[in-house]
Amino acid sequence: MKIQSVRGMNDVLPADSSAWQHVHAVAAQVFAAYGYGELRLPVVERTELFKRAVGEVTDVVEKEMYSFEDRGGERLSLRPELTAGVIRAGIEHGILFNQQQRIWCTGPVFRYERPQAGRYRQFHQLDVEAFGIATPDADVEIIAIAAQLWKRLGMSGFQLQINTLGTLPSRAAHRAALIDYLVQHEAALDEDARRRLHANPLRVLDSKVPATQAIVEGAPSLLDYLDEASIAHFDAVKAGLEALGIAYVINPRLVRGLDYYTHTVFEWVTDQLGAQGTVCAGGRYDGLVEQLGGPKTTGVGFGLGIERLILLMAVQQVPVVSNQPQVYLCRFGTEAERVALQLSETLRDQLPGLRLVLNAGGGSLKSQLKRADGCGARLALIIGDDEAAAGAVQVKSLRGEGEAFTCARTELAAELSRRLAL
């Protein structure tokens, strides 16, 4: 049997990794600019963590998690999202108690769902979280970070959709009205909606089944049940976004797919990726830390799917910083072999940003130049025994950027720095 990758879990080949490295580098700069520090988490967590955080009556826990029992009899899961792990780590290491904490993390997450464009069973997220700030300015900052990321990446075409889920009392009043309405249409609901009608009716609003969506169109809106505190919080978020010039659309059916959200929820969506248009989503979750056994601590954040972002970057032809070699060093002759080896290390020391490939495996000058051209390098450096004895190097453009010339080895670093803007 031919062994291949598991369905929905794909490889990122070296030729495609430049976009990934570019996104990570730009994201790290953006997050640092707002004072967010990186947290690194394990891929495997106790299953109970996600049941308590995400909610047992959700597609993620019921249908999509990769769960197993280890040799010690402990029930474990590959993480289906990052927020729960961030909070678990924050509680475990005592960094959430009576303080503000700004955190970001990244890595693979796992959900057993149907693979489609930009959505896989192993996919990667960027996650940004702010804890201990109950005021709406934290919601605005989190949304602004995403807007800044689009700007730094040179991307456009997003629509920001926002909604509020309000406080627990306002949600309780809406919940009762929603159940009364859905019960009247119970026979026409899909099976999942009927099962969730009493346990988690808000999730019915998020249904993707056309018949249920039609019923949901007439359901009571949570916006009509908001108390004064909920309205004030949402108004402040809207005012903050307007002050920053961040356009938004209010989507009263936006509830998110996880149980832990309160107050502000949002999605950055695009029409350039087909039906599945959400690229980044998040919101406020003021009760989640306490729900997971920690101190009463407010939280707000977002998750961003890297695969979908990179797919959109390709659609928009966003330029990325390349990781392909800039220089290929050809060498032939006994003394040239030794000199070129030393020169390659010297150049890397002198020019830390230089991407240089030293020819290995021998070959004629013609074959070495062919390798140089094939790897995408802009320049070929050529050292034979004559050049080695003379302290010189031939410099040849591989992309039609001028005539070949000979350069003294002592001046080569300065010449490369000028030509490659290092």
Could you tell me the residue ranges of all domains in the chain?
14-167+227-315, 327-420
Q: Which CATH architecture has domain 14-167+227-315?
A: 2-Layer Sandwich (3.30)
pLDDT at 208: 77
**pLDDT value at residue 30:** 98
Q: H or E stretch including 385?
A: helix 385-390
At 322, the pLDDT band (50, 70, 90 cuts) reads confident
168-182, 251-265, 312-326: least confidently modelled range: 251-265
Give the pairing type, strands 44-46 and 159-164.
Answer: unpaired
Helix axes 83-92, 47-54, angle to 10 degrees: 110
| Run of H or E residues at 125 | strand 122-131
What b/e sequence results for 311-339 when a residue is b if at least 16 CB atoms lie within 10 Å of its CB, and e otherwise? bbbeeeebebeeeebbbbbbbbbeebbeb
Average pLDDT over the chain reads: 91
Query: 118: pLDDT confidence band, cut at 50, 70 and 90?
Result: low
Q: What is the pTM of this model?
A: 0.88
pLDDT value for 276: 64
β-partners of residue 135 are none
Is pLDDT of 261 > 90?
no
Q: What pLDDT does 275 receive?
A: 67
Paired tokens of 85: 């792990």
Least confident piece of the model among 4-8, 132-136, 325-329, 378-382: 4-8
| Six-digit token string for 37 | 């520090």
Instruction: Give the torsion sign (CA, 313, 318, 323, 327).
Output: positive
> What value does the mean pLDDT take over residues 95-115?
93
- Residue 222's pLDDT is what? 82
- DSSP assignments along 234-295, one per residue: HHHHHHHHHHTT---EE-TT---SSTT-EEEEEEEE-SSSTT--EEEEEEE-TTHHHHTTS-
- DSSP H helices, 200-333, are 210-216, 228-243, 288-291, 306-315
R_g (Cα) of the chain, nearest Å: 27
CB 394 within 8 Å of CB 406: yes
User: What is the pLDDT at residue 207?
Assistant: 76
Q: What average pLDDT does this structure show over 301-330? A: 93
pLDDT digits (tens, 9 = 90+) for 217-247: 888 888 888 989 999 999 999 999 999 999 9
Cβ atoms of residues 308 and 360 within 8 Å: no
At residue 223, the pLDDT reads 82
Q: Looking at the predicted structure, is the pLDDT value of residue 257 above 60?
A: no
Helices and strands counted in the chain (H then E): 15, 16
For the segment(s) 327-420, the CATH number from 3.40.50.800, 3.30.70.270, 3.40.640.10, 3.40.309.10 is: 3.40.50.800
Q: What is the pLDDT of residue 174?
A: 83
